[in-house]
């Protein structure tokens, strides 16, 4: 492993991270397709793909830890490996969200997905992840800042879904199980955007060496915003 120059190892680890991000985003999109079409076969494929994502995440982390132990990198190289490890974890968690979505399939369908505009919400969140990964590859602080700025857009969509569900719950005949599933899916997509933002913050750390803290809106803050 250490016979090659350090930068070649880092480039290879970075390439594996990018491949993992592509797997995760593809599987997330497949999860939405499964729910929209009520396709059990696609849902099974999503769960099977998640197992491969988990294995890839573990392999990449092990390689990064071995690199740290054997090579003992410093400065920019150290920041790069630390960043890869953290982004790797966020990608694996996004992968888990795809499985959570297909688990809500029995209570959802095309009409529900359209009514709450989940495809639009997911598209924004997916673009945030792609842009944050591009920021990592290109060491682009500007892209990372754009991702952080987009987080509020997804948060606003999530708050709107929350309000729509709250209003529906006040009406007679509303399906509680379906509305809870709607809230869950909205939250999963919102969490995806949060992970994209965290990846962007790691990119900022990689580029500048600055550790930026990101405060997330809690469930209680969302409720308060709806009451105001």
| Domain at 6-227, CATH homologous superfamily | Phosphate transport system protein phou homolog 2; domain 2 (1.20.58.220)
pLDDT of residue 6: 83
pLDDT of residue 175: 82
pLDDT of residue 173: 58
pLDDT of residue 66: 94
Share of the chain residues as helix, strand and coil, in percent rounded to the nearest 5 = 85, 0, 15
Contact of 48 with 26, CB cutoff 8 Å: no
Contact of 140 with 203, CB cutoff 8 Å: yes
pLDDT of residue 71: 85
What does the domain layout of the chain look like in residue ranges? 6-227
* Residues of the chain falling short of pLDDT 70: 1-4, 172-174, 213-228
pLDDT of residue 72: 85
Helix (H, G, I), strand (E, B) or coil at 219: helix
Distance CA 102, CA 202 (A): 29
Q: What is the pLDDT of residues 124-175, one digit of tens each?
A: 999 999 999 999 999 999 999 999 999 999 999 999 999 999 998 888 656 8
Q: Rg (Cα) of the chain, in Å, rounded?
A: 19
pLDDT of residue 65: 95
């Amino acid at each position: 492993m250490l016979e090659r120059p350090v930068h070649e190892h880092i480039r290879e680890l970075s390439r594996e991270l990018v491949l993992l991000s592509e797997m995760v985003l593809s599987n997330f999109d497949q999860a939405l397709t499964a729910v929209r079409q009520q396709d059990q076969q696609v849902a099974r494929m999503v769960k099977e793909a998640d197992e491969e994502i988990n294995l890839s995440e573990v392999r990449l982390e092990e390689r990064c830890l071995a690199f740290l132990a054997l090579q003992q990198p410093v400065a920019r190289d150290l920041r790069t490996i630390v960043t890869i490890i953290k982004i790797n974890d966020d990608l694996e968690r996004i992968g888990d969200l795809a499985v959570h979505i297909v688990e809500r399939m029995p209570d959802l369908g095309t009409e529900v997905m359209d009514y709450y505009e989940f495809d639009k919400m997911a598209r924004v969140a997916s673009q945030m992840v792609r842009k944050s990964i591009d920021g990592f590859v290109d060491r682009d602080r500007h892209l990372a800042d754009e991702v952080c700025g987009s987080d509020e857009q997804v948060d606003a969509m999530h708050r709107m879904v929350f309000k729509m569900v709250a209003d529906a719950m006040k009406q007679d005949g509303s399906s509680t199980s379906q509305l809870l599933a709607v809230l869950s899916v909205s939250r999963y997509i919102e969490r995806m955007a949060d992970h994209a933002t965290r990846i962007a913050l790691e990119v900022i750390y990689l580029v500048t060496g600055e550790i930026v803290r990101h405060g997330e809106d809690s469930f209680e803050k969302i409720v308060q915003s709806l009451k105001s």
